[in-house]
Amino acid sequence: MTTATPEQPADVVARLRATFRTGRTKPADWRTGQLRRLREMLTERGDDLAAALHADLGKSAREAYRTEIDFTVREIDHTLDHLDDWLRPEPAPVPAHLGADARAWSQYDPLGVVLVIAPWNYPAQLLLAPLVGALAAGNAVLVKPSELAPATSAALARLLPAYLDTDAVAVVEGGIPQTTALLAERFDHIFYTGNGAVGRIVMRAAAEHLTPVTLELGGKSPAFVDRGTDLAVVADRLARGKFLNAGQTCVAPDYVLTDPETAAALEPLLAEAVEKVHGADPQTSGEYGRIINERHFDRLTGLLDSGRVVVGGRSDRQDKYIAPTVLADVDPASPVMREEIFGPILPIVTADGLDGAIAFINDRDKPLALYVFSESEETRARIAAETSSGGLGYGLPLAHLTVSDLPFGGVGESGMGNYHGRYSMETFSHRKAVLEKPLS
Ligand code: NAD
């Protein structure tokens, strides 16, 4: 009896490259066919993925469908609706010196074999949404799920090969050793979502092969609350956006930035909103998620004494549960303000007026998202003009990333490049310049 040895990363990449070279992934029919199969996987086996997401993160089925499964289905539908348009060559005016019979255009070519490395917090969506773009662009794709969400990783490794063309799409599971081995290979693009420290490792490895990268990173996304805003509405929207997935969302509002009087008025309203949205006991509500692992649980509970607890504060290590928590009187130099929180803790920090708030934001790394709650058009315009962030949300956290026609990505420490909708197709394509001059 012979035992099959698992395929080595180099062999997987070689196999995908051989497929790409045959030209099989390039026709529009192959691309749309794969996207339809992926859609079938999500509709037929969505419950398998939802169960895995529950095992990894305590995600309720409702949240799993809303934020991961249906989200990806929408991304597929949007791509199927528009792909023909996006791929149409774009004519360019030709300068007179080339003659009236010359033509010029640009067209999108697939890149080849691309690598997608996903994180654990939305372990299905953040692997599958880039995959949609990579397939739409006609590439062979290697996807690497996060080992920190092992049930979802195993479900994806089982389901994707059952639905997709296995010569062109491969799943490699594993942690640092497997990812390190993969990064030694030559890819035509690497799409990484995760933290900036690993982002640097990815970019260094990519540099060896001159491989372009997209880095979808994180950071502290502020929520600025202006004086004179309807604070009940603000509190309700913050309570929903911040504590989704127990705060483990890259674009979650990391902290509230406001003036001292508004902070005082907001505190009781946030406490009320948390209870209204997540129930008196979120631990037993069946809708509220859990922290991914003990390491993050310990890190997060270590941040709880960075301020006065307005609501929440309770935790249960056995259950990896941390209550939705709001902290007031937080010193900007305290531990909770020195790192991306990435958990269900919302500190309120105060700044002196709009100038102080803008300076506070600009003194720190460029955030992945910036949220502004203000009735003043002038304030909104000033913040847009005087700060830099991956995305900007007026009045509603998180929602910008659900607009398929908007590019989603960071700037500076929060990342480089972007995706979603046509931007995904562009990310995984080369825009080739073509000039044609008749020979006679
Ligand atoms: P993670 O620990 O799951 O790591 C992400 C990937 O990197 C995994 O596939 C992992 O195997 C790989 N990896 C880890 N260490 C490595 C190493 N030393 N060498 C090579 N590969 C390695 O996820 P994470 O980084 O903890 O994710 C959380 C971070 O991701 C947060 O900062 C969050 O803001 C950010 N994030 C960003 C987005 C976005 O879209 N911009 C989305 C989600 C999360």
Pocket test for ligand 1, best of 146, 148, 366, 400 (most atoms within 8 A of CB): 146
User: Quick check: CB of 121 below 6 Å from ligand 1?
Assistant: yes
pLDDT at 386 > cutoff 60: yes
Q: What interface predicted TM-score (ipTM) does this complex get? A: 0.94
User: Quick check: CB of 258 below 6 Å from ligand 1?
Assistant: no
Which residues are CB-contacts of 33 (< 8 A; sequence separation ≥ 6)?
none
Atom of ligand 1 nearest to the CA of 145: 9
Which residues are CB-contacts of 395 (< 8 A; sequence separation ≥ 6)?
237, 372, 373
Q: Are 187 and 211 in contact (CB under 8 A)?
A: yes
In this predicted model, what pLDDT tens digit does every residue of 258-306 receive, in sequence order?
Answer: 999 999 999 999 999 999 999 999 999 999 999 999 999 999 999 999 9
User: Quick check: CB of 146 below 6 Å from ligand 1?
Assistant: yes
Instruction: Label residue 440 by pLDDT band (50, 70, 90).
Output: confident
User: Quick check: CB of 291 below 6 Å from ligand 1?
Assistant: no
User: Quick check: CB of 147 below 6 Å from ligand 1?
Assistant: yes
What is the per-residue pLDDT for 361? 98
Q: How far is the CA of 195 from the centre of ligand 1 (A)?
A: 5
What is the per-residue pLDDT for 3? 53
Q: What are the CA-CA distances from residue 396 to residues 40, 74, 232, 423 (Å)?
A: 32, 20, 13, 23
Q: Are 189 and 425 in contact (CB under 8 A)?
A: no
Q: Strand, coil or helix: what is 345?
A: strand
Rg of the chain over Cα atoms, rounded to whole angstroms, equals 23
Q: Above pLDDT 70, what percent of the chain? A: 99
Q: How far apart are CA 345 and CA 238, in angstroms?
A: 12
What is the per-residue pLDDT for 293? 97
Backbone angles phi, psi at 45, to 5 degrees: -120, 20
Residue nearest to ligand 1 atom 5, measured at CA: 119
Q: Which DSSP string corresponds to 31-94?
A: HHHHHHHHHHHHHHSHHHHHHHHHHHH---HHHHIIIIIHHHHHHHHHHHHHHHHHHS-EEEPP
Q: How far is the CA of 363 from the centre of ligand 1 (A)?
A: 25
User: Quick check: CB of 175 below 6 Å from ligand 1?
Assistant: yes
Q: How far is the CA of 47 from the centre of ligand 1 (A)?
A: 25
Instruction: Label residue 6 by pLDDT band (50, 70, 90).
Output: confident
In this predicted model, what pLDDT tens digit does every residue of 106-145 receive, in sequence order?
Answer: 999 999 999 999 999 999 999 999 999 999 999 999 999 9
Q: Are 140 and 269 in contact (CB under 8 A)?
A: no
Q: Strand, coil or helix: what is 430?
A: strand
Instruction: Label residue 2 by pLDDT band (50, 70, 90).
Output: very low
User: Quick check: CB of 270 below 6 Å from ligand 1?
Assistant: no
Question: Please, what sign has the CA dihedral across residues 53, 58, 61, 62?
Answer: negative
In this predicted model, what pLDDT tens digit does every residue of 330-363 receive, in sequence order?
Answer: 999 999 999 999 999 999 999 999 999 999 999 9
* Mean per-residue pLDDT, 412-426: 98
Q: How far is the CA of 217 from the centre of ligand 1 (A)?
A: 8
Pocket test for ligand 1, best of 72, 217, 416 (most atoms within 8 A of CB): 217
Pocket test for ligand 1, best of 143, 153, 179 (most atoms within 8 A of CB): 179
Residue nearest to ligand 1 atom 4, measured at CA: 119
End-to-end CA distance of the chain: 67
Which residues are CB-contacts of 1 (< 8 A; sequence separation ≥ 6)?
none
Q: How far is the CA of 131 from the centre of ligand 1 (A)?
A: 17
Residue nearest to ligand 1 atom 27, measured at CA: 194
Instruction: Determine the Cα angle at 421 with ends 167 and 384, to 5°.
Output: 140
What is the overall mean pLDDT for the chain? 97
Q: How far is the CA of 104 from the centre of ligand 1 (A)?
A: 41
User: Quick check: CB of 195 below 6 Å from ligand 1?
Assistant: yes
In this predicted model, what pLDDT tens digit does every residue of 30-49 receive, in sequence order?
Answer: 999 999 999 999 999 999 99
Q: Which of 3-12, 207-216, 302-311 has the lowest mean pLDDT?
A: 3-12
Strands, E assignment, 230-334: 255-258, 308-311, 315-316, 321-322, 325-328
The active-site residue, picked from 63, 68, 185, 216, is 216
pLDDT at 185 > cutoff 90: yes
In this predicted model, what pLDDT tens digit does every residue of 60-95 receive, in sequence order?
Answer: 999 999 999 999 999 999 999 999 999 999 999 999
Q: How far is the CA of 193 from the centre of ligand 1 (A)?
A: 6
Q: What are the CA-CA distances from residue 195 to residues 117, 143, 199, 387 (Å)?
A: 11, 17, 6, 22
* Mean per-residue pLDDT, 160-171: 98
Q: Is 216 designated active site?
A: yes
DSSP class of residue 216?
E
User: Quick check: CB of 342 below 6 Å from ligand 1?
Assistant: yes
